[in-house]
Amino acid sequence: MNFSDYIFPAFFLVFFGTFVFRYIRNGSLTGALLGGRIKRTTGEIALSGGQFTSRVLSVHVLEPTSGEKPFVALSIVSKAPLGASMIPVKLTFAQAQQLIALLQQATGGRAT
pLDDT at 1: 60
Residue type, position 86, single letter: M
Q: Considering only CA atoms, which of 103, 109, 47 is closest in space to residue 72?
A: 103
CA pair distance 88, 47, nearest whole angstrom: 15
CA pair distance 91, 85, nearest whole angstrom: 20
Residue 66 has pLDDT above 80, yes or no: no
pTM for this predicted structure: 0.71
pLDDT at 62: 86
**63-70 LR contacts (CB < 8 Å, sep 24+):** 63/36, 63/37, 63/38, 63/39, 65/36, 69/93, 70/39
3-state helix, strand, coil in the chain (%, to 5): 40, 35, 25
Contacts of 47 (CB under 8 A, 6+ apart): 55, 56, 57, 76
Confidence of residue 98 (pLDDT cuts 50, 70, 90): very high
**If phi over 0 gives left and psi between -120 and 50 gives alpha, with beta otherwise, what is residue 24?**
alpha
Percent of the chain residues past pLDDT 90, beyond the cut? 27
The per-residue pLDDT for range 23-65, each reduced to its tens digit, is: 777 777 777 777 778 888 899 999 887 888 899 999 999 887 7
